Amino acid sequence: MVFHNTRSFAQELDRTDPLRHFRDRFFIPEREGNALIYFCGNSLGLQPKAVREAADAELTTWQHLGVEGWFDGETPWLSYHRTCKEALGQIVGAEPVEVCPMNALTVNLHLLLASFYRPTPTKYKILTIAGDFPSDQYALETHAAFRSYPPADAIIEVSPRTDGLIHTSDIQRAIAEHCDSLALIWLSGLNYYTGQVYNMAVIAETARHYGIPVGFDLAHAIGNVPLQLHDWGVDFATWCSYKYLNGGPGAISGIFVHQKHHDRNLPRLAGWWGYQEETRFAMTKGFVPMHGADGWQLSTPNIVALAMHRAALSITAEAGMPQLRRKSEQLTGFLEHVLLEAGFGRSDEAGSLPYQILTPADPNQRGCQLSLLVRDNGKALFDRLASGGLIGDWREPNCIRLAPNPLYNTFDEVWQVGEALGRVSIG
């Protein structure tokens, strides 16, 4: 698509946008009566109007039924999690039996590492990405240490090249080089800082070639980019639901465990909520897991949070990932266009330009987020945009992250951001 940096062009795209009505399903934050431009769904998605109703419905069930709510009511709480599986499966490219909403991301990562990180004295290393999200780094570090392997020795990091990006071929080379000592590969599917999407299909294929389990953190990928976890042969994954899935602050996370592992009776850290549903309340000794991803559940779920998650999830499922992705590529492409016109340089222009887009220019290597590097006084630029009504996200020391969301952002908002920027390299 050829973009024009004019308001009429932006408004025409909005007028013909098949997803434009989805914006009305969200509360848009305001300041002094004016809608803010919210490009921060990579950190916390906006509130869908349906979420309060969904939470309220479960509070009403509790009010009227008390404990009977576990078995009675419109959606009995005992199997409430199952009502999210269809949509989750659709969004991550999985069979419903391979996914389960539960816990929080880092908690799930620990549970999955307990099952999939099976080190031996010769094969105990974990391959990951340098500078990946801190919580993931801490989880890997402590799992290695927990099994008495010093993290500095056990964790192998693939580093970015001078363009600040990780090259898939570097990951493949590292897997091949360390294949004899690797017990696990774990990385984010979409880098929270650079906005880069890794080629998960190729990484999973390489991992399978060497017989090494591979898992992905999909915090920034779910609801943002197309995923085919089952077909790619990914072994396991987890995500959060408060970023692109709009489930609310601290929303329920979820896991994916590939079908090929369901009958393997993998070791795990068990809890009663992962015990077979039919006989759970017999309260007997000896853990018998539920089939599939459900068998990793631990505890009684927070039903109000699950209801919020489900309500938000169904909006993403209704819009559909192919349609969301189509709009997202245009929206972010348009943002890139106005940034280039404002004086930013492209990611692939080498060197240290004063204003540069760090996120890859290739749409297949990014989701909706663009990360901007501003060498001098980036915070002042960020503050200026913020005071003009833009909610973005600032990362020390010099990074502005902007993530226009195809569910609730408009092309006109992107145009307005361009206007607010002016000519950065001059002004």
220 annotated ligand-binding residue: yes
Binding segment toward ligand PLP, per CB under 6 A, in 99-107, 170-178, 284-292, 330-338: 99-107
User: From the CB of 219, what's the least distance to ligand PLP, in Å?
Assistant: 3
180 annotated ligand-binding residue: no
136 annotated ligand-binding residue: yes
135 annotated ligand-binding residue: yes
Q: DSSP assignment, residue 162?
A: T
* CA–CA distance, 121 with 119 (Å, rounded to integer): 7
Say whether residue 106 binds ligand PLP (CB under 6 A).
yes
**CA end-to-end distance (rounded Å), the chain:** 29
168 annotated ligand-binding residue: no
* CA–CA distance, 411 with 291 (Å, rounded to integer): 45
Looking at the DSSP bridge assignments, the partners of residue 125 are 182
Binding segment toward ligand PLP, per CB under 6 A, in 29-37, 51-59, 104-112, 380-388: 104-112
Cα–Cα nearest to 388, from 27, 37, 119, 100: 37
In the bound state with ligand PLP, the residue whose beta carbon lies nearer, of 69 and 404, is 404
Let me know: does 223 contact 201? Beta carbons within 8 Å.
no
In the bound state with ligand PLP, the residue whose beta carbon lies nearer, of 144 and 381, is 144
Binding segment toward ligand PLP, per CB under 6 A, in 217-225, 279-287, 299-307, 364-372: 217-225
User: From the CB of 105, what's the least distance to ligand PLP, in Å?
Assistant: 4
Radius of gyration of the chain (CA): 22
Say whether residue 359 binds ligand PLP (CB under 6 A).
no
Say whether residue 112 binds ligand PLP (CB under 6 A).
no
Q: Where are the alpha helices (DSSP H) in 93-150?
A: 105-116, 134-146
Cα–Cα nearest to 91, from 212, 198, 213, 189: 189
Q: How many binding residues for ligand PLP (CB under 6 A)?
A: 12
- Cβ neighbors of 98 (< 8 A, separation 6 or more) are 89, 229, 230, 256, 257, 258, 259, 262, 292, 293
Binding segment toward ligand PLP, per CB under 6 A, in 20-28, 213-221, 261-269, 272-280: 213-221
Q: What is the largest CA-CA distance in the chain?
A: 72
Tokens of 143: 């799992």
8 annotated ligand-binding residue: no
Tokens of 398: 């010099």
Cα–Cα nearest to 418, from 67, 3, 2: 3
Q: Tell me how crowded residue 145 is: count the other CB atoms within 10 A of its CB.
A: 12
Say whether residue 136 binds ligand PLP (CB under 6 A).
yes
Let me know: does 188 contact 132? Beta carbons within 8 Å.
yes
In the bound state with ligand PLP, the residue whose beta carbon lies nearer, of 88 and 414, is 88
Say whether residue 104 binds ligand PLP (CB under 6 A).
yes
Say whether residue 135 binds ligand PLP (CB under 6 A).
yes
Say whether residue 133 binds ligand PLP (CB under 6 A).
yes
Under rule CB under 6 A, which residues in 368-407 are in contact with ligand PLP? none
> Applying CB under 6 A, which of residues 240, 312, 324, 403 lies at the interface with ligand PLP?
240
Let me know: does 374 contact 360? Beta carbons within 8 Å.
no
In the bound state with ligand PLP, the residue whose beta carbon lies nearer, of 238 and 410, is 238
Binding-site positions for pyridoxal 5'-phosphate read: 105-106, 133-136, 217, 220, 242, 272, 300
Instruction: State the residues that interact with ligand PLP by CB under 6 A.
Output: 104-106, 133, 135-136, 188, 192, 217, 219-220, 240
